[in-house]
C-alpha cells in the first residue's frame, strides 16, 4: 500500500497498481491504474511500479516519481497548466532519471529530496535542482548511509523507516523546512540528523538502543 497526493493505492503481486475509492466517492470499486485520470490526463502510466511518491523541484509545481518494475527511477507525471492555461492538472510522462536499473524502492524526503534503496543494500539521497521533464540530469545523488544491509524502506509523515537484514527497524527523522512561530517562519538552524533511531527488531522484542 502507498499514497500519492492523498489517494491510497494497492500494488498487487503481479505489479498492477489499483486505486482505492476516494473518501468522497460513492463508487466502492477499485480502479486499475490505466483507468485513473486527473482531468484529461492519465494519473498513472501502465508500468508496474514498486513505489510511487510525490516530489518537488525549485522550478516545478511538483511531480510524481516512482521505481518501475525494471529497476529504473522515473518521473511519471508532473503538475502543470492545461493547454488553455486556465487550470492546473497532472500531465503524464515517462522520463527515466539516471541510467541505473537496480533500484528497489524509494520514498519522498523533505523539500526537493528523495531517498532510494539500491539492490546492493545501500541507501541514497536524491536532490532535484530541476524537474526531470525540464532536465533529466538536473539532480545530485549521494550515499545516505554507510550500511549495506538494508532490505526495505517506508515513508512516514516526518521521515522514513528502514529495515535491515538482521531484523533491525530504524527511524530516520527529517527536520521541517521551516519552524512556524505565530506568523513568522524561521528556517532550522541544524541540518537533518544522519543518525537513525533504533525502534526494535522484528525477530525479537521492541526496545531502544
Which of 38-47, 150-159, 162-171 has the weakest average pLDDT? Answer: 38-47
Please state the pTM of the whole predicted model.
0.73
- Could you tell me where the beta strands, DSSP code E, fall in the chain? 2-4, 7-11, 17-19, 31-32, 37-38, 41-42, 49-55, 63-68, 73-81, 88-97, 103-108, 113-118, 123-128, 139-143, 150-156, 159-164, 168-173, 179-181, 184-186, 197-201
Look up residue 114 and give its three cell numbers.
Answer: 528523495
Average pLDDT for 158-175: 89
Q: Which tens digit of pLDDT belongs to each residue from 96-150?
A: 999 999 999 999 887 789 999 999 999 999 999 999 989 989 999 999 999 999 9
38 pLDDT more than 60: no
Q: Which tens digit of pLDDT belongs to each residue from 2-32?
A: 666 566 777 777 766 676 665 544 555 555 4
Distance CA(125)–CA(202), nearest Å, equals: 25
Question: What's residue 192's pLDDT?
Answer: 55
Question: What's residue 41's pLDDT?
Answer: 35
Question: What's residue 34's pLDDT?
Answer: 44
Amino acid at each position: 500500500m502507498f499514497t500519492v497526493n492523498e489517494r491510497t493505492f494497492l500494488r498487487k503481486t503481479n505489479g498492477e497498481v489499483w486505486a482505492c475509492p476516494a473518501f468522497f466517492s460513492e463508487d466502492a470499486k477499485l480502479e486499475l491504474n490505466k483507468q485513473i485520470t486527473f482531468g484529461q490526463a492519465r494519473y498513472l502510466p501502465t508500468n508496474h511500479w514498486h513505489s510511487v511518491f510525490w516530489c518537488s523541484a525549485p522550478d516545478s509545481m511538483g511531480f510524481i516519481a516512482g521505481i518501475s518494475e525494471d529497476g529504473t527511477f522515473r518521473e511519471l507525471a508532473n503538475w502543470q497548466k492545461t493547454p488553455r492555461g486556465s487550470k492546473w492538472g497532472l500531465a503524464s510522462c515517462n522520463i527515466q532519471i539516471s541510467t541505473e536499473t537496480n533500484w528497489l524502492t524509494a520514498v519522498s524526503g523533505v523539500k526537493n529530496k528523495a531517498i532510494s534503496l539500491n539492490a546492493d543494500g545501500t541507501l541514497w539521497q536524491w536532490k532535484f535542482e530541476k524537474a526531470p521533464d525540464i532536465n533529466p540530469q538536473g539532480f545530485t545523488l549521494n550515499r545516505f548511509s554507510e550500511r549495506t544491509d538494508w532490505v526495505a524502506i517506508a515513508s512516514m509523515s516526518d521521515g522514513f523507516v528502514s529495515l535491515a537484514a538482521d531484523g533491525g527497524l530504524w527511524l530516520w527523522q527529517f527536520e521541517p523546512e521551516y519552524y512556524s512561530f505565530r506568523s513568522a517562519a524561521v528556517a532550522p538552524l541544524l541540518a537533518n540528523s544522519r543518525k537513525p533511531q533504533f525502534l526494535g527488531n522484528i525477530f525479537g522484542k521492541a526496545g531502544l538502543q
